[in-house]
Amino acid sequence: MGEQIKKIDLENVHAETSSRRGASGLLESALRRFRNLAFIFLLIPVIAICTSAIGLSLVPAIFLVKYIHRFTIAWPAFGHYFADGTAIAVGFLVYGLTLIIVVPTFNFLLPFRVKPFRGNWYSLPSIPWYVHNALTYVVRYTFLEFATPSPANLLFYRLMGMKIGKGVVINSTNISDPSMIVLGDFVTIGGSAHLMAHYGQKGYLIIAPVVIGKGTTVGLKATIMGGVTVGENCNIKPHTAVLPKTEIPDGTTV
C-alpha cells in the first residue's frame, strides 16, 4: 500500500501521455497533448447540452407569453403591455421550475458519473466532473438564486444526486459537485456558504466526497472543501474555511 501511494505521489502530473491502455489511453494522451484544441472540441457538446436544456425549459414559458399576447391584443395599450409584462415575469418562473426538472434529467441520461479522482486535470475522469458542474451552474446562474432557500432548491440538488436528509435547509447556491455531497438530517447550510467536493493541489485535480453529519450548522459564507468529513451536531462558524481532508469530530465548534 505504501509503495502504491508513493507511486501516485511521484506521478508526473504534467505528462502528455496517459498510463491507460487501448483506445482510452490514446484518447487521454490526445487530450493532454493538444490541450487547447481538445478543450474547444469538448466544449462544443457541453454547450450543446446546456443550451438544449435551457431551450427545452423555455418552451412552456414562450407558449404562455405568446398565448397571453394574442389573448390581450385587442385590449387598450396599457392593459395589453401590462399583461405581456406579467406573462414574461410568470414565464421566467415557469422557465426556472421547468429547468429544475430538465437539467437533472439531462444529467441522469449522461452515460457517465462523477467519481472520486486524483490526477491530471486533462484526464478522462475529469470530463464527467466538468459536465456535471456545467449543468449545475446553468441552474445556479439563471434561476436558483430566486428559489433559495425553498423546497425547489432542495429538489434540484436531490435530483442532481446530492444525498439530503430530512429537515435540511440550504440557503446558498455556491455548491459544486452535488452528486458527491452528503447532508445528514437537520443540517443547515447558511447564506452564501460554499460546498465543493473538489480542489486543486500541486497541479492535481482531486475529487473527493463531502459528508456533513446530522444537526450540523455551516455558517454564513463558510467554505467546506473536498474530502472533508464533518461529524454530527457541529458548528462551523461564519467565514470559516475547512480545508481538504479535514475530519471534524461530533459536537465540535470550528
Give domain status of residue 2, yes or no.
no
- Tell me how crowded residue 215 is: count the other CB atoms within 10 A of its CB: 19
CA distance 45 to 175: 23
Pair 59, 100 in one domain: yes
Q: Give the integer Cα–Cα distance in Å for 211 and 234.
A: 12
For residue 38, how far is the Cα from the chain centroid?
Answer: 23
DSSP state of 210: E
Do 71 and 128 fall within a single domain? yes
Q: Is residue 10 part of a domain?
A: no
Would you state the pLDDT for residue 23? 82
Assigned domain for 1 exists: no
pLDDT at position 4 is 43
pLDDT for residue 146: 94
Verify cis geometry, omega within 30 degrees of 0, for the bond prior to 149: yes
Confidence at residue 37, expressed as pLDDT on a 0 to 100 scale: 87
| Res 35: pLDDT | 78
Quick one: pLDDT at residue 3? 43
- 50 and 109 inside one domain: yes
In a domain, 3, yes or no: no
Report the domain count for the chain.
2
Answer for the pair 201, 220: CB distance below 8 angstroms, yes or no: no
Query: 139 and 37, same structural domain?
Result: yes
Q: Is residue 152 one of the residues assigned to a domain?
A: no
Residue 48 and residue 125 in one domain: yes
154 in a structural domain: no
DSSP one-letter code for 2: H
Quote the cell numbers at residue 239: 467565514
The stretches of the chain forming alpha helices (DSSP H) are 2-9, 22-33, 35-71, 77-109, 126-142, 151-159
Query: In this structure, are 80 and 21 located in the same domain?
Result: yes
- The reply to whether 98 falls in a domain is yes
| Measured CA distances, 232 to 14, 97, 186, 252 (Å) | 40, 33, 10, 8
Rounded distance, CA 101 to CA 97, Å? 7
Domain boundary pick from 98, 122, 147: 147
| Domain match, 60 and 104 both | yes
Residues 143 and 194 reside in one and the same domain = no
Residue 35 lies in a domain: yes
Indicate if 167 and 133 belong to the same structural domain.
no
- Distance between alpha carbon 102 and the CA centroid of its chain, in Å? 14
Mean pLDDT of each 10-residue bin along the chain, 254 residues long: 44 72 80 83 92 98 97 96 97 97 97 92 90 97 94 96 97 97 97 96 91 97 97 97 96 94
Same domain for 188 and 228: yes
Whether residues 189 and 141 fall in one domain: no
- Of 147, 177, 204, the residue that ends a domain is 147
Let me know: does 99 contact 142? Beta carbons within 8 Å: yes
Give me the CATH number covering residue 213. 2.160.10.10
Domain coverage including residue 250: 163-254
pLDDT at position 10 is 52
Query: CA–CA separation, 90 vs 83, rounded Å?
Result: 10
User: Do 99 and 201 sit in the same domain of this protein?
Assistant: no
- Of 98, 120, 147, the one marking the end of a domain is 147
pLDDT at position 2 is 42
